Amino acid sequence: MHSDPATTTSRCLLLARIYPSPLLPSSQIAPSQRAFIPSAAWLTLSAAGMASEKHFKYIILGGGVSAGYAAREFAQQGVKPGELAIISKEAVAPYERPALSKGYLFPQNAARLPGFHVCVGSGGQRLLPEWYSETGIELILSTEIVKADLASKTLSSATGATFTYEILLIATGSSVIKLTDFGTQGADSNNILYLREIDDADKLVAAIQAKKGGKAVVVGGGYIGLELSAVLKINDLDVTMVFPEPWCMPRLFTADIAAFYEGYYTNKGVKIVKGTLAVGFDADANGDVTAVKLKDGTVLEADIVVVGVGGRPLTTLFKGQVAEEKGGIKTDAFFETSVPGVYAVGDVATFPLKMYNELRRVEHVDHSRKSAEQAVKAIKGKESGESVAEYDYLPYFYSRSFDLAWQFYGDNVGDAILFGDSDPSSAKPKFGSYWIKDGKVLGAFLEGGTADEVKAIAKVAKAQPPVADIEELKEGLQFASKI
């Protein structure tokens, strides 16, 4: 078939309209259509089609903490070069996300990559970007997947690239809830910031440097609210923390525990406004935020606003394709979903919590690490015919801010019994709490404990010892030492 250059060009332009870049794989172009394609253009189409589709035995979707720990477990289990890919919309290899609200924002000796790549957060080897290539694991970064077809085992990116797999590990994590989601007036002003990924942290660092000595308002009184209020104060900003609940960290703290942290923060110069919420923002002519308007009528001056009002598990790609429960993707004790060969871990997984005989979804880095490892063990165990123990997770949460560090294990249900020195003005406060229900201790909390003391309270939460007399619990760590 012969054509002049002009005809070839026009046909190629027509093809570009029919097959937008990246082009379809050659196998998807009908023979009848191929007849109209000049040979040179056909070779180009075929090459482009092949380049736009990649196949892997295993794909981890998401590039956060779970992805890094899953990759390490795959390597330990003997994954072959070229079998595994991690697809992440972030531009960097998996890292320990908790650093972003702590060391990354310090005014001196701030944490920076590659210092906190996974798996350094749990005391393991730091997996630098080159580790993945040395191990034969493909890191596909800055790539957003916009469509997942579980029936055909196909993922499609925003740029049209296609990835196929045999086994999929969903590790997409959560996205932050933004005030713009609710149409809050002025919520799109400059310097209203959120924190989830390293790009967010970089924006916050830039704002702190640009607004030295300025006023910061933190919206939210949970993990992010408490940790960021502390680190902003360490950066010599004038900090006000605002939240609608009667006390901070209400999902975990009792009123007594919260009173200590609120008192401690107040002594450090952080102002706390409780029982109201942000309903609007004022901005100057440049669009920079200048004030936060609260529901109770108060107006707070602000040079920086940081919002930490929770997150949403990123499950949208899989709606209608997998069973869901309690806001997440329902899995078994090995993190396999209702679709064989598809696993979900970390924030997105609703799994059987064996200790309490119920389905739960847990948002915390500890579970992100351990669920990823469990899923990979299950995947490889199924292949080799070896049995893997069911996931038997002890819920664990922790936080660090200022000179404080607390740990919690178990379940915070029933009556809470406080022990120790919880005076926020103490030089070295050290206190804790046990939760008791139906005569058994189900949860344990400790502020200011040593490593051995933390292990002791973990043992209590795991053992769930019966207690005949609540007075025993007031012995505090002495009680724990008996278990």
Q: Which of 46-50, 137-141, 283-287 has the lowest mean pLDDT?
A: 46-50
CA 309 – CA 218 distance, rounded (Å): 10
pLDDT higher than 80, residue 23 = no
179-309: CATH, from 3.10.20.30, 3.20.20.80, 3.50.50.60, 1.20.1630.10: 3.50.50.60
Note the CATH architecture for domain 55-175+313-384: 3-Layer(bba) Sandwich (3.50)
403-481: CATH, from 3.40.50.2300, 3.30.390.30, 3.90.420.10, 3.20.20.70: 3.30.390.30
pLDDT score, position 243: 98
Residue with tokens 């290539």: 133
Where are the chain's structural domains? 5-51, 55-175+313-384, 179-309, 403-481
pLDDT digits (tens, 9 = 90+) for 397-430: 999 999 999 999 999 999 999 999 999 999 999 9
CA 216 – CA 306 distance, rounded (Å): 8
Q: Which residues of 182-207 are buried (b: 16+ CB within 10 A; e: fewer)?
A: eebebbebebbbbbbbbeebeebbeb
pLDDT digits (tens, 9 = 90+) for 50-72: 447 999 999 999 999 999 999 99
CA 178 – CA 161 distance, rounded (Å): 29
Mean pLDDT of the 109-119 span: 97
- Burial (CB count <10 Å: 0-12, 13-18, 19+), residue 10: exposed
CA 293 – CA 216 distance, rounded (Å): 14
pLDDT digits (tens, 9 = 90+) for 296-347: 999 999 999 999 999 999 999 999 999 999 999 999 999 999 999 999 999 9
Q: What is the pTM of this model?
A: 0.88
Mean pLDDT of the 450-463 span: 98
Strand partners, 162: 53, 156
pLDDT score, position 52: 78
Domain 179-309 identical in fold to domain 403-481: no
